[in-house]
Amino acid sequence: MSPSLPSAHATTTTTPETSATTLTVDVLGRGGDGLAYDRDGCLTVVPGALPGETVLARLDDLHMAPRRATLLAVESASPERVTPPCPLFARCGGCAVQHLALPAALNWKAATVRQALAQAGFAETCEVSLSQAPAGARRRMDIGVRRTTQGLTLGFHARGGDLLDVRHCLVLAPALDRLLTPLHDLMIRVRGLRRDGDVVVNLLDSGPDILVRTDGALTVDDRALLAAFARAHDIPRIAWAPVDQREPAEIAAQIAPVRHRLAGHAVVPPPGAFLQATADSEAAIRDAVLAMLPPRLAARDEIIELYAGCGTLTFGLAERGRVLAVEGNPDAATCLKQAAGGLRISVLQRDLNRQPLMARELAAKPVVVLDPPRMGAGAQMREIASGAPQRVVYVSCNPQALTKDAALLKAAGYSLAALTIIDQFVWSAEVEAIALFTAPPAKRARRR
């Protein structure tokens, strides 16, 4: 959370014999690092420090703004400090706040979302619901692979940016965690990996679904290796794509059908498809969205769903009314079309960044539901604000993008009516929010 600087404070003393500074930390920054002021009154980032703590730290670069410091010792610990359960915590960039008790982490993330909305102009209070996923439930992993003269590294990026070899991760569901070492041993032998690649694994109902990206083409032997790996580890499908291109993936090995269910409906997600991080969080997001719909929809009413993906929300929405589901990715849109037969769902494949639905197409709608990418809805959000549908249900994975997009709704006269905050990325700085915005009464009246 970006602090309000006048409210942050720190007392600093310099210890000459150690060239260290004592700081009192007031807030957590957006990335989960402690923020304080150093002896010169400059804002200082102290990774590993928590609000209320007095710490001994070394200032690393006096020319940066904000300055950065290395935590040397915690002299007075926060009551919310806990022992990080992972030995890689200080190095791995995947988890930012393993040293913060989970209830406190949820409250911090909730404050981050509330501040994002306040910065957009929504300072009013509203009904807020909070939930948190457990560790060991993540069903998607995106891991980097690098081959050097020293060997092969497979894992997550360290805080400094380099790839860190990881063979065990407490965040992942056990079925994915068990694959880390076998995948490392597999990628050593894949000749199509010259230097850099990555592996995306989704845990579907049918089992792990793997997409391998490499910087070289697969050889015949590589394909045989992938097929043998699939058989040995009960992997229904392994796909491949070039690491530096966005062309559709090709199936390198398949030993069984791929199947998955979204809100009880069978889908066949494309390789590397987007899934919510945990199954429980997916259900919580869907329940929150459905609770924010109008209580009654007429037979002629249509729910507009933007950035629909493979149908994470679509099938639940269709239980409440007719749905126009718009998705830009061709593979995801095709997946949704194939699963939507016989349901009250129309699917439109359309790049909303380049060709947003226009204000006139949204003006008479009772509700627009959108789950945009991390950078937000961009041009599409301007059309929503201009069209002023009665309700806007916004699913956000990025508080900064939420601030930018929600500010357009505030300028159009919308009010914040309800908010759900879900910590589905446990121990990270990421947070999911679902916000209901309602149009001003005058605009709602003109549509009746």
User: Which residue in the list 86, 95, 169, 397 is annotated as catalytic?
Assistant: 397
Mean per-residue pLDDT, 327-334: 96
Q: What is the pLDDT of residues 206-238, one digit of tens each?
A: 999 999 999 999 999 999 999 999 999 999 999
Here the tokens at position 368 are: 């627009």
Average pLDDT on 105-116 reads 96
Q: What is the pLDDT of residue 59?
A: 87
Say how far apart CA 219 and CA 206 lie, in whole Å. Answer: 27
281-313 confidence digits (pLDDT tens) = 999 999 999 999 999 998 889 999 999 999 999
Architecture of domain 5-76: Beta Barrel (2.40)
Please tell me the predicted confidence (pLDDT) of residue 336: 97
Per-residue pLDDT, 441? 80
Q: What is the mean pLDDT of residues 149-153?
A: 94
Residues 6+ apart with CB under 8 A from 110: 128, 130, 421, 431
> Which residues does 228 contact at the CB level (< 8 Å), separation at least 6?
none
The region of weakest confidence among 88-92, 264-268, 304-308, 406-410 is: 88-92
Compute the distance between CA of residue 78 and CA of residue 235 in angstroms, rounded to an integer. 45
- Which helix or strand (DSSP H or E) is residue 208 part of? strand 207-214
**CATH code for the domain defined by 140-267:** 2.40.50.1070
Give the sheet arrangement for strand 237-242, strand by strand.
163-165, 151-157, 140-148, 196-204, 207-214, 237-242, 250-254
Report residue 178 as tokens.
Answer: 């068990």
- Of 430, 428, 432, 431, nearest to 89 (Cα)? 428
The alpha carbon dihedral of 351, 282, 177, 254 has a sign of: negative
Cα dist from 304 to 308, 391, 394, 415, 439, whole Å: 10, 11, 12, 20, 16
pLDDT value at residue 335 = 97
| Structure tokens, 167 | 């063979």
DSSP string, 102-138: HHHHHHHHHHHHHHHHHHTT--S--EEEEEEPPTT-B
Give, in order, the Cα–Cα distances in Å from 47 to each of 33, 50, 101: 4, 9, 16
Edge-to-edge strands, sheet with 302-306: 127-132, 415-423, 432-438, 391-396, 367-370, 302-306, 322-327, 345-349
Annotated domain spans of the chain: 5-76, 102-134+275-447, 140-267
Residue 327 labeled ligand binder = yes
Q: Does domain 102-134+275-447 match CATH 3.40.50.150?
A: yes
DSSP state of 81: B
Find all residues with CB under 8 Å of 326, minimum gap 6, and list them: 304, 305, 306, 307, 308, 347, 348, 349, 350, 352, 357
> Annotated binding residue at 276?
yes
- For residue 351, pLDDT beyond 50: yes
What pLDDT digit, counting tens, does each position of 253-280 carry?
999 999 999 999 999 999 999 999 999 9
d(CA 11, CA 37): 8
Contact 357, 284 (CB under 8 A): no
Residues 422 and 433 sit within 8 Å (Cβ to Cβ): yes
> CA–CA separation, 249 vs 241, rounded Å?
5
In this predicted structure, the answer to whether residue 446 has a pLDDT above a threshold of 60 is no
Is 371 marked as a binding-site residue? yes
Structure confidence by residue, pLDDT tens digits, 162-202? 899 999 999 999 999 999 999 999 999 999 999 999 999 99
Question: In the numeric block, which tokens belong to residue 176?
Answer: 């994915």
Q: Distance (Å, rounded) from C-alpha 394 to C-alpha 372?
A: 8
Same fold flag, 5-76 and 102-134+275-447 = no
Residue recorded with tokens 């805080």: 159
Residue 397 annotated to the active site: yes
- Decide: 309 and 326 in contact? Cβ < 8 Å: no
- Per DSSP bridges, beta strands 207-214 and 196-204 are antiparallel
Q: Is the pLDDT of residue 8 over 60?
A: no
CA distance 349 to 330: 6
Residue 76 CB: number of other CB atoms within 10 A?
A: 10
The stretch 380-386 carries a mean pLDDT of 97
